[in-house]
Amino acid sequence: MCTELPPQQSSDRLAQHPTPGRVLSRRTALLGTAGLAGSTVLTAAGAQVAQADTHRRPGRSGKLNLTYTLGEDFPAFTPGEEAVRRPGTTIENDGYYLQRWDIYEHTGTHVDAPAHFNPDGRYASELTADELMVPAVVVDIARRAASDPDTVVTVADLRNHERRHGRIEGGAAVLMYSGWGSKVADPDAYRGTDTAGVLHFPGFSADACEWLIRRRRVRALGVDTLSIDPGNSATFATHKILNGAERYGIENLANLDRLPRSGAHISVGVVPFKEGSGGPAKVLAAW
C-alpha cells in the first residue's frame, strides 16, 4: 500500500498534537492532516436527485448540487440500515419545527473519513478545509458500466482521461461517473443484488486508487454508487488503501453527468460527528 509518500505540510503538527486518547501510527503522521471539518444540515425526507442551481453550458461558469436528499427511502448498503425519521416538534404545538433522525453515518450522500478503515485514521471532524474544498475531475465509465455492472475505474481509464482533459491536479478529488444514479429510485437495482446476495455496481480498482495517491497525490475519491469499492468486492481493498493513506471517500454523489470533466471545484460539508467514521454531506460544485 501507499507508505512512501512524502509528508504533507501539516504532518509535523499532527504528530506533535495527536487526538487525546489515541495513538497515531507513523504512517498516519506522515500522510495525515488534522483540522476542522465543514458542516451540513440534514434535509427533509425523500430520495430524489437535488436540482442544479444553474444548468451547465459549455464555456460558461456554473454551480451544481451533487447531493441527494436524505430520506427513509434512500438505498442503504445493507437493507435495514435506511434512515429513520420521526416527528419532533411542530409550529402549531410548539412554536417551532424540527424532526428526529436515526441514521448510520454512511447513509445517503456521505463521506468515508480515514477512520472508517484505518484504526489510526482521523475522524470526520478532523478533516481540514484544504481537504474539503478541492479541485475535482470526473472520470466517465458510464458506457462500460451499462453492460458490465462489475466494471471499475482502471489506471488505463485515468490515463485516457488525462489525454483528453489534461493532467489530474495534485490535491484533487477524482469522481467516478458510472450512470448509476438512474437506478437510485429502485434500491434493489441500485445495490445490484443477485440471487446469492452479492452486490453488483461499479467502483475504483485498488490499482487506480494507489496510482492516484502515489502519482497524482489526490485528496479524495468519489462515486455515484454505494461504495468506492465495486459492489462485488469481498476485501474492500480500495477503502483500505484510500483510508490507510489518510484520504477520504465520497459516496452516492448525484448529477455527475452535469459536472465538467475538469475545471470544477467542490465543497464537501460533512457532518462533524464526534469520533465519526464519516457522515452525511452536502457536496456543492462550482466552475
Predicted TM-score (pTM) of the model is 0.81
Residue 43 — pLDDT band, cuts 50, 70, 90?
very low
Whole-number pLDDT of residue 53:
38
Q: What is the mean pLDDT of the chain?
A: 86
Nearest-angstrom CA–CA distance, 138 and 217: 16
Cell numbers at 260, concatenated: 465538467
Whether residue 159 has pLDDT greater than 80? yes
The C-alpha cell at 136 is: 475535482
| Statement: residue 79 has pLDDT above 60 | yes
Going from the C-alpha of 123 to that of each of 11, 37, 72, 249, the distances in angstroms are 16, 10, 25, 13
Q: Are 4 and 213 in contact, with CB atoms under 8 Å apart?
A: no
- In which element (H, E) is residue 65 found? strand 63-65
Please choose, from the candidates 145, 139, 169, the residue with its C-alpha nearest in 3D space to the C-alpha of residue 157: 139
**Which domains can be identified in the chain, with CATH numbers?**
36-286 (3.50.30.50)
pLDDT of residue 60: 83
pLDDT at 56: 44
Q: What is the model's pLDDT at position 48?
A: 42
Distant-in-sequence, close-in-space partners of 92: CB < 8 Å, separation ≥ 6: none
**Strand 278-286 with 264-270, pairing:** antiparallel
d(CA 284, CA 134): 11
The number of residues in the chain equals: 287
